[in-house]
Amino acid sequence: MGDIRRRSAVVLGVTSLVAPLALALGATPAQAASCTSSTGPYQKKVEKFLGRPVDGKQSSADCKAIRAFQTKHGITPNIGYAGPVTWGVMDLMNKQKAVGKNPNKSGKCPTNKGRIACVNLTLQLSWIQDGKKLVYGPVPVRTGRNGYETRTGLKKVYWRNIDHVSTIYDVPMPYSQFFDGGQAFHSVGVSMWNPPGSHGCVNMTKTAAKKYWSLLKTGDDVYVYGRKPGT
């Protein structure tokens, strides 16, 4: 038994040296990827969005700014490359900003239902209105990714749980307001522009989810329409 213990101690000792030795030999963690010097296909558009000099050529300063944006919104790989995913997020932000305080300009969300929570999947925006009166929003949301799309149509809030925890994914879903099976409004701790999206729920910031919790009640209408980019 004593010999077995000594052998185990040797094995553990060798194992504990593997990671430091690997680092000493030059290996680096995956998240420590270097900033790319490559010019991306959306370089000029990304530079303009970030307020950088628009010359269409990648610089170290460009890369640093792009990488900071990618890191903030959970875009991977976050190496500062002006690719389609990064530009897609920026383009969506521009479109959301252009909506201003008239999110139902098209009239697609019903105005004859009284209080109703509207979700525009195409623009990834949600708001609450009473008839034609805007009550709150619009706010950016994060809806279902490809294969887990947030279902469209007219629904109703049927159950609310302020401290809900998902029984499927075992993750907290604060301020949950369910309106279609397992799909609900609730807050999350990631960016609203974090790709590729949720598992069907309408993710919100804590501030927005708390406001929805205070403004909606069981039985209130929810209308979901459009199509999320990439689905």
Q: Which residues are catalytic?
A: 186, 201
User: Phi and psi (nearest 5°) for 154?
Assistant: -90, 125
Single-letter amino acid code for the residue at 38: S
Task: 162-169: list long-range contacts, CB under 8 Å, 24+ apart.
Answer: 162/213, 168/199, 169/199
User: How far is Cα 177 from Cα 117, in angstroms, rounded to an integer?
Assistant: 11
Rounded Cα–Cα distance for residues 51 and 40 (Å):
17
What size, in residues, is the chain? 231
Distance CA 165, CA 184 (A): 12
Bridge partners of residue 134, in order along the sequence: 129
- Cα dihedral: 195, 197, 198, 202 (round 10): 120
